[in-house]
Amino acid sequence: MTQAATPSPPNLAGLTRAELQRALVEAGVASTERARMRAGQVWRWIHHYGVTDFARMSDVAKETRAAMAERFVLVRPQIAERQESRDGVIKWLIRFAPGVEAETVFIPDVARSGALCVSSQVGCTLNCAFCHTGTQGLVRNLTAAEIVAQVQVARDDLGEWPTSNENRRLSNVVFMGMGEPLYNLDNVAQALDVISDNEGIAISRRKITVSTSGVVPQMRALGERTGAMLAVSLHATRDELRDALVPINRRYPLAELMAAVRAYPGLSNARRVTFEYVMLKGVNDSPADARALLKLIAGIPAKINLIPFNPWPAAPYECSAPEAIEAFAAILKRAGYASPIRRPRGRDILAACGQLKSESEKLRASARRRLTSPAA
């Protein structure tokens, strides 16, 4: 006879405010009338001070703290591996459950600020030809709590609790790690609510960027539900080439993608879309390609990010020559786009864009289809 495993107590660390309130009431830790106030207190301890020990919640009555400790936990996922590169990039391989691992990367800026690159899925269903994650297949979507946990783990490591408004090292969050965020929009939106909350981690929505390979039907919802900044992985200006590089283009070709970008809620000169463009030698890096790019995005408030291709073992492409990238960038600069080249960081620990891949095993294809058929 098999014995049922004892279920582990719920983890409060990644819940939204509403979920936290509900959990406290359901566990009998707070009355319905006081739930809002109590959840507010606990929220500050979790998300402003980063505590993982109920005993430290000094303005919460002792009995309440004990009651919470009996019914709940406040835990971080396991860090399976931590690497720091020569240029200060830190990469964590986080184990959410056995066989469910994803990578999170901190990229310090030159000033006292930096971006955390978070994963939204373990693996990816899409298989862009130049992307290491794409070779892995999808293991599963990350939950909102698991996305929030990536920010918490990074702040633990960087010593950034309690939240301060000045001199933050982790000042921005970009959804440019593993996975396609718009195939996991519910959880991404919920995680964004948590990390942007003013009484918590308080990273403003304008400092959070979500990158998509072009899941057109979800783009408006992303803007409406999250107010996040949009980045689009363009990489090609002709359907024929984009079909080969970013296969989702066969479903949502360039004309539809560009229309969705133009309609992105809140797009303005102060809130520009970022077009990412990976520089692949002899594939998409000629001066004619640069001019075609300018033509395609004309009139859209935009920034351009040229990403030198980051090689990974057995990758089928090469990075463009530095002169080709410079010449491409010069054409964009002349048209008024400032500093378009993204300096590759953390290459020595395979932490750069598109290099993330875990050894997690993928789900069966049928389960994968169930998980990722977009709601729309």
| CA 294 distance to own-chain centroid | 27
One-letter amino acid of 131 = C
CB of 323 to ligand SAH, least distance (A): 19
Nearer to ligand SAH, 46 or 222 (CB): 222
* 307 interacts with ligand SAH by CB under 6 A: yes
Task: Count the neighbouring beta carbons within 10 Å of the beta carbon of residue 340.
Answer: 19
CB of 85 to ligand SF4, least distance (A): 21
Nearer to ligand SF4, 125 or 320 (CB): 125
Confirm if 152 and 13 have CB atoms less than 8 A apart.
yes
Name the one range near ligand SAH by CB under 6 A: 86-94, 208-216, 321-329, 366-374.
208-216
Side-chain half-sphere CA neighbours of 297 within 13 A: 27
One-letter amino acid of 30 = A
CB of 123 to ligand SAH, least distance (A): 11
- b/e for 73-82, b at 16 or more Cβ within 10 A? ebebbeeeee
Q: Residue 127 binds which entry of ligand SAH, ligand SF4, none, with Cβ cut-offs from 5 to 8 Å by kind?
A: ligand SF4
* 233 interacts with ligand SAH by CB under 6 A: yes
Residues 6+ apart with CB under 8 A from 343: none
With residues binned 3-state (H G I as helix, E B as strand, rest as coil), the percentages for the chain, rounded to 5, are 35, 20, 45
CB of 43 to ligand SF4, least distance (A): 32
Q: Residue 197 binds which entry of ligand SF4, ligand SAH, none, with Cβ cut-offs from 5 to 8 Å by kind?
A: none
Q: Could you tell me which residues are beta bridge partners of residue 279?
A: 308
Name the one range near ligand SF4 by CB under 6 A: 18-26, 123-131, 305-313, 357-365.
123-131
Residue nearest to ligand SF4 (CB): 134
* 310 interacts with ligand SAH by CB under 6 A: yes
CB of 253 to ligand SAH, least distance (A): 16
Structure tokens at 182: 């718009």
Name the one range near ligand SAH by CB under 6 A: 70-78, 102-110, 324-332, 348-356.
348-356
Residues in contact with ligand SAH, total (CB under 6 A)?
17
Stretch 178-197 residues interacting with ligand SF4 (CB under 6 A) = 179-180
Sheet with strand 100-108: strands edge to edge: 78-84, 90-97, 100-108, 114-117, 172-175, 208-212, 229-233, 273-279, 302-308
Positions in the binding site for ligand SAH (CB under 6 A):
128, 130-131, 176, 180, 211-213, 233, 276, 278, 307, 309-310, 353-355
